Amino acid sequence: MRRNEVWVGVVILLSVVVAVAGSFWLRGYRLTRGTTTVEALFSGVGQLPDGASVKLRGVTIGRVNGIAVEPDGTAVRVGLAINADVQLPADAAVLIAPESMFGDWGAEIVSRSANPRLDFFEPSDPGVLPGFSIPDLSRLTATADQIADNLATITDRVEIAFTQETAENLRLVIENVGGVSEQLAALVDAQIGAVDDLVENVRTSTSQVSEAAALATLTLAEVERLLSGGVVDSIVGDTRVTAAEFRRLATDLRETTTGLSTTLRYADSTLVRFERIGRELETGEGTLAHLLADSTVAVQTQSVLMQLTLLLEDFRENPGRYVRLSIF
Amino acid sequence: MAGKTLDFVGATGRAALRFAATVGEWGVLMQDTIRGLRAVRIWGGLVFEQMMRIGVASVPIALFIAAFTGIVLALQASYTFTGAVPVYLVGSLVGKTMIIELGPVLTGLALAGRVGASIAAELGTMRVTEQIDALETMAYDPAAYLVLPRVLAGAVMFPAVTLLASTLGIVAGWLTAIQLLEMSTPEFVRGLEAFFVPFDVVFSVIKSFSFGLTVTSLGCFFGFRTRGGAAGVGRAATSAVVASSMVILVFDAFWAAVLL
């Protein structure tokens, strides 16, 4: 009898220990590390079960420990039992999402600043973490159904609005669009030719610019060489001397021009006199005209000139006859 | 034609009445058994012996069945979960199935065959050899002396054996997964944890508790109403096993509908 009691006790205790310890182990409770509880508020928790895993950067650090709707019904408060030695982010928030397509939901502690697009629930208590639940597949499917219904409604309305007149207008629009397209094509063809010319010109210009650049490079090199050799200084000095010469030449030229103007005035006056003499000659007035018109006068003049010549020769040969010098 | 129809209807009616009468007799026996709870002096010293015979002695066969069930579950799960289905669900399937379904049901069916038949044959033999009549003659409550220890032992030991069997089934599935299916222990444990809730264990205990009551009470009942000598004992044992198995499956569906 005593042996029976022992065996029965062993089986019962073993089964109880296995059941309790196994349950705690599968729920993630470990005796070796302490836990601390943080709370988060959500607008909804999807299919998150009590006891679901809590992860930080993909590593399980705890379990969901209690899910309850707030007394005012506006939010759901979720307790998270996490390892006490884990340091949470400064702006920690809790994200609830399916871990797979098979209904196993979990919570993950994330940095809120790293998820700016998520509309986290804003708790009034700063000690409570903000939470957000990602819509599950069924909710997305329901939304897709709603979108499909809306599309069906729109399709129906389009079908109603699409009458024969609309079709005719649409045909005309299509024809117009076709014409516009042809014109655009022609314009594009023309523009393509112009663009080709432009490209060719640009290419030529580029080539010339390249050559000019090369030449400029050579020139600059030469200039640099000249600068380094002191030739420029010499050229500048020569140029300065030449400029002074030019300045003096310009002064002389200005003076010459002034003299020339005087000469021209004299010439003009002389020509006037010559004109008057010419007129007198034509009219037969004056001495010269008389000389020309009367040969006697000319002969007498010639005789006077001859006598004058003889007189000068005699004066040169015999000056004493005409000049007497007496000093005392 | 009309006569055959009437015969069929009559046979159906007789079967229904016989079933109702049987249920009523079982109810009367259970009433006597509950009434016998007061006679602790009679059944108190017999419970541990019955626990030993019903529970401890059944552990090896229950563990054997559960171990191979776990192996088969893991292999069939890996065979089924291909393509987009993640492999860690092997752990989920093995754990969930062993805890809430196959552990309690297979253990219940196995013990229905072993324990139910044993009780029915033992009590049936006592009935045909008029030992139970002798107890009544000596003013000894046979329900308190024969039924109550067995029912109590079954009610306590079935859950214990089931929990051990479920645990071993999961361990066997885990060993199969890591040895034959190229799974890692973390993968298997992840699947095991993913869908586990503590109520699964409670559900398993409730089911196996009801199975224990069913198997032992029906074994006692069919043993008590044994008639006709050795052949009657055989029929009683067979009836106990068949009835226990059917009721186990009915209760299985009932608890699933009520508690899940």
pLDDT tens digit string along B89-133?
889 999 999 999 999 999 999 999 999 999 999 999 999 999 998
Residues 6+ apart with CB under 8 A from B218: B26, B116, B120, B240, B243, B244, B247
Go through chain B and tell me how many residues it has. Answer: 260
Q: Please tell me the predicted confidence (pLDDT) of residue B210.
A: 95
Q: What is the mean pLDDT of chain B?
A: 91
Confidence of residue B212 (pLDDT cuts 50, 70, 90): very high
Residues 6+ apart with CB under 8 A from B182: none
Q: Which of B61, B189, B196, B208 to substitute to test the interface with A, most A CBs within 10 Å?
A: B196
Average pLDDT value for residue range A176-204: 83
Check residue B46 and report its DSSP letter. Answer: T
* Backbone dihedral angles phi then psi of residue A50, each to the nearest 5 degrees: -65, 130
To the nearest whole angstrom, how far is the Cα of A90 from the nearest Cα of chain B?
A: 29
State the burial class of residue A46 (Cβ atoms within 10 Å of its Cβ: 0-12, 13-18, 19+): middle
Contact list in A for residue B197 (CB cut-off 8 A) is 49-51
Answer whether A18 sits within 8 Å of B161, measured CB to CB. no
pLDDT digits (tens, 9 = 90+) for A167-182: 788 888 888 888 888 8
pLDDT digits (tens, 9 = 90+) for A92-129: 999 998 877 767 788 999 998 888 888 888 888 888 99
Q: Please tell me the predicted confidence (pLDDT) of residue B101.
A: 93
Contact list in A for residue B107 (CB cut-off 8 A) is none
Q: Please tell me the predicted confidence (pLDDT) of residue B217.
A: 95
- Looking at per-residue confidence, does A147 or A162 come out higher? A147
Q: Which of A3, A7, A26 to substitute to test the interface with B, most B CBs within 10 Å?
A: A26
Answer whether B157 sits within 8 Å of A8, measured CB to CB. yes
Answer whether B52 sits within 8 Å of A12, measured CB to CB. no
Report the residue of chain A nearest B193, measured CA to CA.
Answer: A26
Of A4, A8, A22, the CB nearest to B167: A22
Touching check for B89 and chain A: CB below 8 Å? yes
Q: Please tell me the predicted confidence (pLDDT) of residue A231.
A: 65
> Residue with structure tokens 């108190």?
B44
Contact list in A for residue B156 (CB cut-off 8 A) is 12
Q: Please tell me the predicted confidence (pLDDT) of residue A288.
A: 66
State the burial class of residue A243 (Cβ atoms within 10 Å of its Cβ: 0-12, 13-18, 19+): exposed
Three-class DSSP category at B96: helix
Of A4, A23, A51, the CB nearest to B201: A23
Answer whether A51 sits within 8 Å of B197, measured CB to CB. yes
pLDDT at A195 over 80: no
Average pLDDT value for residue range A35-51: 87
Contact list in A for residue B201 (CB cut-off 8 A) is 19, 22-23
- Looking at per-residue confidence, does A231 or B167 come out higher? B167
Give the amino acid at B87. V
Q: Please tell me the predicted confidence (pLDDT) of residue A327.
A: 57
Phi-psi region of A19 (alpha: psi -120 to 50; beta: other; left: phi over 0): alpha
Report the residue of chain A nearest B95, measured CA to CA.
Answer: A26
To the nearest whole angstrom, how far is the Cα of A81 from the nearest Cα of chain B?
A: 16
How wide is the angle at C-alpha A219 spanned by C-alphas A215 and A225, nearest 5°?
145
Report the residue of chain A nearest B195, measured CA to CA.
Answer: A104
Answer whether B157 sits within 8 Å of A53, measured CB to CB. no
Strand partners, B140: none
Confidence of residue A277 (pLDDT cuts 50, 70, 90): confident
Answer whether B195 sits within 8 Å of A104, measured CB to CB. yes
How many contacts, defined by CB atoms under 8 Å, are there between A and B?
A: 73
Q: Please tell me the predicted confidence (pLDDT) of residue A232.
A: 63
Which value, to the nearest 10 degrees, does the dihedral of the CA atoms of residues A215, A221, A227, A233 take?
A: -20
Q: Point out the least confidently predicted range of A154-168, B185-199, B244-258.
A: A154-168
Of B156, B164, B198, the CB nearest to A23: B198
Give the whole-angstrom CA distance, residue B155 versus residue B161.
Answer: 11
Of A18, A23, A101, the CB nearest to B164: A18
Q: Please tell me the predicted confidence (pLDDT) of residue B174.
A: 93
Q: Which of B170, B197, B200, B208 to substitute to test the interface with A, most A CBs within 10 Å?
A: B197
Answer whether A53 sits within 8 Å of B193, measured CB to CB. yes
Give the amino acid at B168. L
Give the whole-angstrom CA distance, residue B216 versus residue B85.
Answer: 42
Helix axes B89-97, B185-194, angle to 10 degrees: 50
What percentage of chain A reaches a pLDDT higher than 90?
Answer: 9
Helix axes B199-224, B117-128, angle to 10 degrees: 20
Q: A134 near A45, Cβ under 8 Å?
A: no
Contact list in A for residue B188 (CB cut-off 8 A) is none
Q: Point out the least confidently predicted range of A222-226, B52-56, B126-130.
A: A222-226
pLDDT at A4 over 80: no
Average pLDDT value for residue range A63-70: 88
To the nearest whole angstrom, how far is the Cα of A76 from the nearest Cα of chain B?
A: 20
To the nearest whole angstrom, how far is the Cα of B51 from the nearest Cα of chain A?
A: 6
Q: B106 near B65, Cβ under 8 Å?
A: yes
Residue A326 in tokens: 């007496």
Of A7, A19, A100, the CB nearest to B52: A7
Q: B188 near B78, Cβ under 8 Å?
A: no
Answer whether B164 sits within 8 Å of A22, measured CB to CB. no
Of A14, A51, A102, the CB nearest to B164: A14
Average pLDDT value for residue range B44-49: 88
Contact list in A for residue B48 (CB cut-off 8 A) is 1, 4-5, 8
Answer whether A11 sits within 8 Å of B159, measured CB to CB. no
Contact list in B for residue A49 (CB cut-off 8 A) is 197
> Residue with structure tokens 């037969």?
A284
Of B163, B192, B196, the CB nearest to A19: B163
Maximum Cα interatomic distance, chain B, rounded to a whole number of Å? 71
DSSP string, B133-182: HHHHHTT--HIIIIIHHHHHHHHHHHHHHHHHHHHHHHHHHHHHHHHHS-
Touching check for B3 and chain A: CB below 8 Å? no
Average pLDDT value for residue range A263-288: 77
Contact list in A for residue B49 (CB cut-off 8 A) is 1, 4
